[in-house]
Amino acid sequence: MAKDVLCEVNNCKFWRQGNKCNAKAIYVVSRKGNQASNSDETDCKTFEPK
């Protein structure tokens, strides 16, 4: 498991200084079913606006 999760979306309620994600869990989904070919085909469902 990743020790640090980085995030540059500073209007997310889980964003912390240093571009760190403070969420207890991260939920990422594919836009095209259950497989993605690259990061452009994924979305972070953990995001919540501040």
User: 12-37, pLDDT tens digit by residue?
Assistant: 999 999 999 999 999 999 998 999 99
Q: With a cut of 90, say whether residue 42 has pLDDT above it.
A: yes
Other Cβ atoms less than 10 A from the Cβ of 40: the count is 8
Q: What is the pLDDT of residue 3?
A: 84
Quote the CA–CA distance of 44 and 18 in Å, as a whole number.
Answer: 19
Burial class (CB in 10 A: 0-12, 13-18, 19+), 21: buried
What pLDDT was estimated at residue 15? Answer: 97
